[in-house]
Structure 1
Amino acid sequence: MKKFIAVFALVMLSSCAELQQVVNSLPTEGGIDNATIGNGLKQALDFGIDKQVTKLTATDGFYKNELVKIALPAELQKVDSALRKIGLSSLADEGIKALNRAAEDAVSEATPIFVNAVKELTITDVRNILFGNDNAATVYLEGKTQTALYDKFNPVIKNSFSKVGADEIWTNLINRYNSIPLTNNVNPDLTDYVTQQALDGVYTMIAVEEKQIRTNIASRTTNLLRNVFSLQD
């Protein structure tokens, strides 16, 4: 397991100037030279971004992915319930879809920030990942990118609310709820809420890919990946 964590930690170094230094310090194993190992690690990172982060930007990338689909915040659960009771289920559904569409819009800003985080990875970070928990690489990225991603996501989500019609949908939805007798008015900060949920979704999918690399040989779809990652089996 420790050998695998070492390999996965190096995956996160693929765009880093220190990659060659670290790779060169590894002994040659299984007849695979250090340059080949480095190329395999670069390919693994490219595939990881493409398969997990990039697909969140597609239509329904959040909305039809149960791992990351954005539900209503707690204070709006009562809104959803009340509207459905009075026959406005379709309006409630459109409200949820609009939140997820905004998140899908925002995640396109993530990739360059992850690339910068990888470049900043130090030898100390490698050691911490090497001997850390099974999700050490994901935790590293979260610590390095969370603030920058929030700052990027938040304005995009705010603009997306207008573009996908979420502003209008949610103004109508909340106004309809607030007009129901004997209810307390609500006015939540949906931009902040969706930003946080979008961040959680990105890190969730990175963790999924981390587990795939660790456990699923079938996920190694090229000879290079099969040869390099066979070292950790």
Structure 2
Amino acid sequence: MLKRYLIAFSLTLGLLSCETLSNLPMSTTITQAEAAQGIREALDQGVGRGISLLNKEDGFFGNQAYKLLLPQEAVKIENTLRQIGMGSLVDKAILQINRSAEDAVGYARPIFLDAIKQMTIADAINIIKGPKDAATQYFREKTTSKLIAAFTPIIKGSLDKFSATKYYGDMISTYNNFPTTMNKLNPDLPSYVVDKAVSALFDQVAQEEANIRANPVARTTDILKKVFGWAARS
């Protein structure tokens, strides 16, 4: 039924503002505009909740699911420094890297909201009946590269603000200056933190989307109640 509707929808694109989903076997109908608004609000709510959970002290560092360790390329450096009694330098770098991520995600909301606004009504219709993370999957696929580009300078600023760049640089320099170090290493810290921070935010959005779909109490606005109530009953 949904496939037949989508075919019809593509033939009547000019009537999006007034078309309803009444041709589906539901006693309560929603308009296509309401479907789009519901998806956008679900993503907005997920982003807001994700940011609030991560943008605080220990939002990353105190959460084993999101805690940032060192980039894989730097593990050899970490092991060497710990073996010679310089573990405190490594620990300080790790702590400040996490503090930087905690700070940076607080600036992510406008970036995510702009991406949410780009979602079309057709996109929303296609995902409203999808799996529990359908909106998040779409969001991740369509916006990751743009989000990374916009988020990178923010992460760099936070790394500098919390001296993570300095501590990480000291750690790398110490290792590279050892007489026994044949291959100098300098893993890209900003790119690593950006990737981890964006992944953590997407994960939070997915969890909130699943909660909204499954739990009526999580539908905190009238449009969320209407759209996801309709989806749950269909």
Q: Report the Cα distance in structure 2 between the residues aligned to 1:79 and 1:106, rounded to whole angstroms.
A: 26
Q: Report the Cα distance in structure 1 between the residues aligned to 2:211 and 2:171, rounded to whole angstroms.
A: 40
Distance change (3 Å), C-alpha of 1:22 and 1:209 = farther
C-alpha displacement at 1:169, in angstroms?
0.7
Q: Report the Cα distance in structure 2 between the residues aligned to 1:193 and 1:55, rounded to whole angstroms.
A: 21
Q: Report the Cα distance in structure 1 between the residues aligned to 2:56 and 2:153, rounded to whole angstroms.
A: 19
What TM-score comes out, normalization by structure 1 length? 0.73
Q: Report the Cα distance in structure 2 between the residues aligned to 1:179 and 1:131, rounded to whole angstroms.
A: 57
Amino acid in the other structure paired with 2:160: S
Q: Report the Cα distance in structure 2 between the residues aligned to 1:185 and 1:139, rounded to whole angstroms.
A: 38
Q: Which residue of 1 aligns with 2:152?
A: 154
2:186 matches 1:191: no
2:20 matches 1:25: yes
Distance change (3 Å), C-alpha of 1:158 and 1:228 = closer
Q: Which residue of 1 aligns with 2:106?
A: 108
2:57 matches 1:59: yes
Return 5+ residue gaps in structure 2 as ranges. Answer: 3-15
Q: Report the Cα distance in structure 2 between the residues aligned to 1:141 and 1:127, rounded to whole angstroms.
A: 14
Aligned positions, number: 215
Q: Which residue of 1 aligns with 2:161?
A: 163
Return 5+ residue gaps in structure 1 as ranges. Answer: 3-20
Amino acid in the other structure paired with 1:60: D
CA contact (8 A) 2:51 2:201 kept: yes
**Bigger Rg, structure 1 or 2:** 2
Q: Report the Cα distance in structure 2 between the residues aligned to 1:213 and 1:84, rounded to whole angstroms.
A: 45
C-alpha displacement at 1:156, in angstroms?
1.6
Q: Which residue of 2 aligns with 1:202?
A: 201
Listed as ranges, the matches of 1:6-155 within 5 Å are 25-27=20-22, 41=38, 44-130=42-128, 132-155=130-153
Q: Report the Cα distance in structure 2 between the residues aligned to 1:195 and 1:61, rounded to whole angstroms.
A: 15
C-alpha displacement at 1:211, in angstroms?
2.1
Identical counterparts, % of pairs: 38
Q: Deviations over 1:70-105 (max 9, x none)?
A: 221111011111222222222212111222222223
C-alpha displacement at 1:132, in angstroms?
4.5
